[in-house]
Amino acid sequence: MRAAVYRRFGGPDTVRVDQVPRPTVGTDDVLIRVHASTVSAADHRARSREVPRGLGLLAAMGIGLFRPKRPVLGFDVAGVVEAVGANVTAFGQGDEVIAMTGAYFGGHAEYARVPGGAAIAHKPRNMSFENAVTLVFGGLTARCFLQQAHPAPGAAVLVNGASGAVGTAAVQLAAYAGAHVTGVCSGGNRELVTSLGADRVIDYTTEDFTAGPASYDVIVDCVGNDPFERVRHLLKPGGALLLVITDLPGLLLAPLRSRRTGHLVTADVGRPTAEDLAFLVDLAEAGSFQAVRDRTYDLADVAEAHRYVDTGRKRGNVVLRLTDEEPAPKSTAQQTGEASS
């Protein structure tokens, strides 16, 4: 089968399209004929080994020390079930699904193995594969972090990095929970973030939100520039700081800070489940969660997709097409926001 393969760490051009063996299916696995995946921040980090301060060794355990452990990237897939293992009963051949391959990667290929226990759900009926796949990476991350803080109706939630894959999902989920949402992004993304449900937008290029008088029940940091020391004064008593991205000290000190301050400080996403993904699918089918899709690339242009993701400026998700059934514009930025195909 065709796949985007990288055999050494480095820049976007380390990723090439090559022939690799089709994955085999274990008794608990689902094999998917992939229609779409995304090129995500996780792919960028695994390929480039650019990880926050102090996390190099920990990351190497997952992605490889001298060369990539898993030469096919791709954290998520949308496609059609090709085969299932003997123990799989919830899905069968021909089902349209979305799934998180997660740390196993493998989504940037014509066929991907979704291991037993991974988050997998039927695709929203009102979304194309290319829109549906955008629910997985950012949606599951935002869902699993926010669930730990349980924002109540009326709670004040700030999402830093509100225009990325995780941020756009966090804004939508917090708004769905009835929270008053403040999104932090650059001015060009104000309209997008507002359209997703933010009540207020702070342009980080002209205003430092940590200098403002507002306080929050929940702060979601999707950028990595909000360590506890910087935002502690903005947290209401019992408030939560959700560190979607942080460095080693932030990771190690989070439990201690929680114990000492009465705030919830966590850098742990937990384990995204099939139920979490089904929750997002239900929201999407009800029109309460939108696909946020930036550029779409064909597999042959995978290095270009990586180059764009490396800018750190993508809006929501960059989609990789593994089939050519949807005539999508190749490199034009498009924020679909729509729930229908």
Ligand X SMILES: NC(=O)c1ccc[n+]([C@@H]2O[C@H](COP(=O)([O-])OP(=O)(O)OC[C@H]3O[C@@H](n4cnc5c(N)ncnc54)[C@H](OP(=O)(O)O)[C@@H]3O)[C@@H](O)[C@H]2O)c1
Q: Contact residues for ligand X (CB under 6 A)?
A: 40-41, 45, 138, 141, 160-161, 163-167, 184-186, 189, 204, 222-225, 244-245, 269, 312-315
Token pair of 309 as six digits: 């993701």
Q: How far is the CB of 167 from ligand X (least distance, A)?
A: 5
Closest distance between ligand X and the C-beta of residue 109, in Å? Answer: 21
In contact, 157 and 220? CB cutoff 8 Å? yes
Nearer to ligand X, 84 or 165 (CB): 165
Nearer CB in complex with ligand X: 167/239: 167
Whether the CB-CB separation of 98 and 132 falls below 8 Å is answered with yes
Q: Closest CB to ligand X among 224 and 337?
A: 224
State the nearest-atom distance from the C-beta of 136 to ligand X, in Å.
11
Sheet (strand 264-266) strand order: 200-203, 180-185, 156-160, 216-221, 235-243, 264-266
Q: Which CB, 91 or 137, lies closer to ligand X?
A: 137
Write down the least CB distance from residue 155 to ligand X, Å: 21
d(CA 241, CA 221): 8
Gap between the Cα atoms of 158 and 151, Å rounded: 11
Please state the closest distance from residue 279 (CB atom) to ligand X, in A.
Answer: 17
**Please, which residue, 88 or 172, has the CB nearer to ligand X?**
172
Q: Which is nearer to ligand X, 113 or 143 (CB)?
A: 143
Min dist CB 338 to ligand X, Å, is 19
CB of residue 65 vs ligand X: minimum separation in angstroms? 20
Give the shortest CB-170-to-ligand X separation in angstroms: 9
Torsions phi, psi for 8 (to 5 deg): -145, 160
The dihedrals phi and psi of 187, each to the nearest 5 degrees, come to -55, -35
**Nearest residue to ligand X on Cβ basis:** 164
Closer CB to ligand X, residue 3 or residue 158?
158
Could you tell me how far CA 12 lies from the centroid of its own chain? 19
Nearest to 46 by CA among 105, 99, 2, 4: 105
Region at 150 (left for phi over 0; alpha for psi -120 to 50; beta for the rest): left
d(CA 256, CA 266): 10
Q: What are 97's two structure tokens? A: 């699904």
Task: Name the CA dihedral angle for 251, 252, 257, 258, rounded to a multiple of 10 degrees.
Answer: 70
The residue (of 110 and 276) whose beta carbon lies closer to ligand X is: 276
CA distance 338 to 314: 18
